[in-house]
C-alpha cells in the first residue's frame, strides 16, 4: 500500500528584508508547528542575492512544488511570483518586509504564526498580475517621483517607514514634474505629473493608499496620475493619502485600463513593487487576469 502524498512547501526567505532577525528566526519553528508533517513536506531556503529568489522559485515551480512561500517584503514577493508565473504552483506570503503593501491589501496577517496558519487552511484566490515590458508586478509600478523615492530608499542604510518618509520629504520641494504621453486602451493622454503609478492593488505599503477603489481581480490596472501640490499643502495631502482619501484632493486622476503604453525620452528607472528597476525606455503595461493563485484569509 502506497504512502500518503505530501504537499511540497518551499519557504524562500530573504534574510535582509525589513523585519528583525529574531522574527525571521521564528519562521522555521512556526512552519513546523502549524504545517502538519503528515500532510506537508516543508523546506526552507535563504536568498543570497536580489535575483536568487526568482531562480529558487522558478526551479521549485518546474520541479512541481505545490506551494511556494515568499518570506520578505514586496520586492521578495515580486521575484518569487515572477519565478512561478505560468506554473501550477500556488503562491503564499509571509510578510517580513518594510511596507508589505501586497499583504496589507490582501489582509494577510503581518504576524508570522497567523500568516503560516493561512497556508494550513489553504484558501486561495485567483488574482491579476500586470506585465510591464518583460517584468511582472503584483501590486504597483510607477514612474517619476515615485521611482525616485524607491531608488533612494533602496540605497538607504535604514529601512522602515520613517526612512521612506524622510527621503520623500527631502526630495519633494525640488522635484520638477515631468510631461508624460500615454496611450490608454487606444486613447492618447498627455499629462504633466509628479508621478504616474500603475496600481493593481491599492497601495505602496505602510497603508499609503494611492488608489482606494483598486481591485486586484477586475482585469484592470488603475493609472494614477498625481499632480504636484504646493509644498505648504503637503501635510494635508499626506493626511489624505493615509486616510484612503487621496482621490478627494483634486491632485489625483485615476483611469482604469486593460493596456497602457507610456512613451518616454529616457530609460529611467521605474518603481516595480517597491524596488527601482530599468525595464526599457517606453513602457507597455498590460493586465494578466486571474493569472496567480494565492493563499488568502
Please give the C-alpha separations between residue 237 and each of 33, 197, 208, 248, in angstroms, as whole numbers: 44, 16, 11, 10
Name residues whose C-beta falls within 8 Å of residue 83's C-beta, 6 or more positions apart in sequence: 53, 54, 55, 56, 57, 58, 59, 60, 61, 68
Burial grade of 238 (CB within 10 A; 0-12, 13-18, 19 or more): middle
Assess contact for 264 and 282: CB atoms under 8 A. Answer: yes
Find all residues with CB under 8 Å of 170, minimum gap 6, and list them.
Answer: none
pLDDT in tens, 38-61: 999 999 999 998 799 999 999 999
> Which uninterrupted H or E stretch holds 225?
strand 221-226
Among 63-72, 170-179, 232-241, the least confident range = 232-241
Cα 10-92-15 angle, rounded to 5 deg: 60
Q: Report d(CA 69, CA 178) in Å as an integer.
A: 38
- Per-residue pLDDT tens for 83-139? 999 999 999 999 998 889 999 999 999 999 999 999 999 999 999 999 999 999 999
- Under the banding of pLDDT at 50, 70 and 90, the label for residue 15 is confident
Which three cell numbers mark 63?
520541479
- By the 8 A CB rule, do 93 and 102 touch? yes
Percent of the chain with pLDDT over 70: 95
Structure confidence at residue 2 as a pLDDT band (50, 70, 90) = very low
What is the rounded CA–CA span in Å between residue 213 and residue 101?
15
Cell numbers representing residue 137 in the block: 508586478
Residue 231 CB partners (closer than 8 Å, separation 6+): 172, 173
Q: What share of the chain is helix, strand, coil (3-state, %, to 5)?
A: 30, 35, 35
Parallel, antiparallel, or unpaired: how do β-strands 195-199 and 259-263 relate?
Answer: unpaired
- Measured distance CA(230)–CA(237) in Å, rounded: 10
Residues 6+ positions from 140 with CB-CB distance below 8 Å: 101, 197, 198, 199, 200, 201, 203, 204, 210, 271, 273, 274
Judged by phi (left if over 0) then psi (alpha if -120 to 50, else beta), residue 92 lies in beta
Whole-number pLDDT of residue 25 = 66
pLDDT in tens, 248-263: 888 999 999 999 999 9
Amino acid at each position: 500500500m502506497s504512502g500518503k502524498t505530501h504537499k511540497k512547501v518551499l519557504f524562500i526567505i530573504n534574510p535582509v528584508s525589513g523585519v528583525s532577525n529574531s522574527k525571521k528566526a521564528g519562521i522555521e519553528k512556526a512552519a513546523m508547528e502549524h504545517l502538519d508533517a503528515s500532510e506537508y513536506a516543508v523546506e526552507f531556503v535563504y536568498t543570497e542575492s536580489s535575483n536568487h529568489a526568482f531562480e529558487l522559485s522558478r526551479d521549485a515551480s518546474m520541479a512541481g512544488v505545490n506551494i511556494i512561500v515568499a518570506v520578505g517584503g514586496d520586492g521578495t514577493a515580486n521575484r518569487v511570483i515572477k519565478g512561478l508565473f505560468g506554473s501550477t504552483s500556488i503562491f503564499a506570503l509571509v510578510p517580513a518586509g518594510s511596507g508589505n503593501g501586497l499583504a496589507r491589501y490582501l489582509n494577510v496577517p503581518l504576524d508570522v504564526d497567523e500568516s503560516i496558519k493561512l497556508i494550513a487552511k489553504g484558501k486561495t484566490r485567483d488574482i491579476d498580475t500586470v506585465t510591464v515590458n518583460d517584468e511582472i508586478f503584483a501590486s504597483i509600478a510607477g514612474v517619476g517621483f515615485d521611482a525616485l523615492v524607491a531608488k533612494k530608499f533602496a540605497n538607504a542604510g535604514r529601512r522602515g517607514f520613517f526612512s521612506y518618509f524622510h527621503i520623500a520629504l527631502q526630495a519633494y520641494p525640488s522635484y520638477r514634474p515631468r510631461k508624460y504621453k500615454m496611450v490608454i486602451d487606444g486613447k492618447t493622454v498627455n499629462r504633466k505629473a509628479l508621478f504616474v503609478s500603475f496600481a493593481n492593488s491599492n497601495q505602496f505599503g505602510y497603508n499609503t493608499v494611492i488608489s482606494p477603489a483598486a481591485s486586484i481581480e477586475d482585469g484592470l490596472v488603475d493609472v494614477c496620475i498625481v499632480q504636484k501640490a504646493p509644498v505648504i499643502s503637503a501635510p494635508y495631502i499626506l493626511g489624505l493619502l493615509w486616510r484612503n482619501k487621496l482621490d478627494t484632493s483634486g491632485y489625483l486622476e485615476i483611469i482604469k485600463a486593460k493596456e497602457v503604453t507610456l512613451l518616454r525620452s529616457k530609460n529611467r528607472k521605474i518603481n516595480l513593487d517597491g524596488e527601482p528597476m530599468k525595464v526599457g525606455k517606453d513602457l507597455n503595461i498590460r493586465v494578466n487576469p486571474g493569472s496567480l493563485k494565492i493563499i488568502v484569509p
